[in-house]
Amino acid sequence: MLADHTATSMDCEGKISIYRAVRTIKRRDNTLYNALRSIYEDSIFVGEISQLWPDLPLLANLRCGLWYSSKFYATCYFKSTDGHTNNWSFNTSRLNLHVAQLAGQKRGCIIVDSTRKGKRFPDSMSKTIPIWTCVLNRSIFNHISKMRDCGTIMQEEADSSKHAEYTRMLSHNWDCSLHLPLWVPETEKAAIEERIDGWSKQLEDSGADIASVASCLKKPLRPLWISQKTVIWLNEVPDHDSWDFTPIILVSTSSSSSIYQHRTTSEFSWSYIAGAGDDEESWARGLSPSLFWKHAFDLISSGPDLCNQKVADIVEKDRVYRAQRGQNAPQVTLKPLERLDNMADFSQVDSSSSLDLFNGNITLMSCNKDHTMFWLGSTNLALGTTQLAAHISDVDCILNCDQESFHTHIQDSKTYLQLPMLSSKLDRFSILSNLPAAVSFAKANLGKGNRLLVCCHNGEDISVCVCLAILTSLFSDAGTFDDGESYRNTRITKWEMRRRLVFICKFAVSARPSRGNLKQVFAFLTGQRSPSSCSHCRNANQEECC
pTM for the structure as a whole? 0.74
Nearest to 124 by CA among 63, 81, 91: 81
Helix-strand-coil split of the chain, %, nearest 5? 50, 10, 40
pLDDT digits (tens, 9 = 90+) for 217-246: 989 999 999 999 988 887 788 888 889 999
What's the pLDDT at 146?
81
Q: What is the amino acid identity at position 231?
A: V
Distance of CA 422 to the CA centre of its chain: 19
Residues above pLDDT 70, as percent of the chain: 76
pLDDT digits (tens, 9 = 90+) for 63-109: 899 999 999 999 999 999 898 989 899 988 889 999 999 999 999 99
- Sequence-separated (6 or more) residues with CB below 8 Å from residue 498: 92, 93, 206
With a cut of 50, say whether residue 334 has pLDDT above it: no
3-state secondary structure 60-84: EECCHHHHHCCCCCEEECCCHHHHC
> Which uninterrupted H or E stretch holds 58?
strand 58-61
CB 364 within 8 A of CB 73: no
Q: What is the C-alpha separation between 2 and 162, in angstroms, rounded?
A: 86
CB 98 within 8 A of CB 147: no
Strand intervals (E) in 147-278? 221-226, 246-252, 260-264, 269-273
Q: What is the C-alpha separation between 134 and 498, in angstroms, rounded?
A: 21
Task: Considering only the C-alpha atoms of the chain, give the largest distance between any 2 of them, rounded to a whole number of Å.
Answer: 95
CB 192 within 8 A of CB 127: yes
What's the pLDDT at 222?
96
- Sequence-separated (6 or more) residues with CB below 8 Å from residue 164: none
Nearest to 273 by CA among 256, 288, 285: 256
In terms of pLDDT, which residue wins out, 521 or 234? Answer: 521
- Sequence-separated (6 or more) residues with CB below 8 Å from residue 276: 34, 35, 36, 38, 39, 42, 67, 114, 116, 283
What's the pLDDT at 49?
95
Q: What is the C-alpha separation between 61 and 79, in angstroms, rounded?
A: 9
Overall average pLDDT of the 378-407 stretch = 85
With a cut of 60, say whether residue 396 has pLDDT above it: yes
- Sequence-separated (6 or more) residues with CB below 8 Å from residue 187: none
β-pairing verdict for 381-385 and 246-252: unpaired
- How many beta carbons lie within 10 A of that of residue 129, not counting itself? 27
Q: What is the C-alpha separation between 46 and 35, in angstroms, rounded?
A: 16
Q: Would you call the peptide bond into 63 cis, given omega within 30 degrees of 0 as the criterion?
A: yes
Distances (CA, A) of 501 to 379, 461, 498, 508: 14, 12, 5, 10
Distance of CA 417 to the CA centre of its chain: 27
With a cut of 50, say whether residue 360 has pLDDT above it: no
Distances (CA, A) of 207 to 406, 471, 497: 37, 15, 12
Domain range list for the chain: 21-152+166-252, 285-327, 374-527
What's the pLDDT at 168?
58
Class of domain 374-527: alpha beta
CA atoms within 13 A on the CB side of 30: 18
- How many beta carbons lie within 10 A of that of residue 231, not counting itself? 4
Overall average pLDDT of the 474-501 stretch = 88
CB 344 within 8 A of CB 303: no
User: DSSP of 108-155, one letter per residue?
Assistant: -EEEEE--SSSSSS-HIIIIIHHHHHHHHHHHHHHHHHHHHHHT-S-G
With a cut of 60, say whether residue 385 has pLDDT above it: yes
pLDDT digits (tens, 9 = 90+) for 152-202: 554 445 445 555 555 556 556 788 999 999 999 999 999 999 999 999 999
Overall average pLDDT of the 318-331 stretch = 59
What's the pLDDT at 392?
77
Span between the terminal Cα atoms of the chain, in Å: 48
pLDDT digits (tens, 9 = 90+) for 242-298: 899 999 999 999 887 654 566 766 577 888 888 899 888 888 888 999 999 999 999
Residue 479: phi and psi, rounded to 5, are 85, 20
Residues shown for the chain: 546
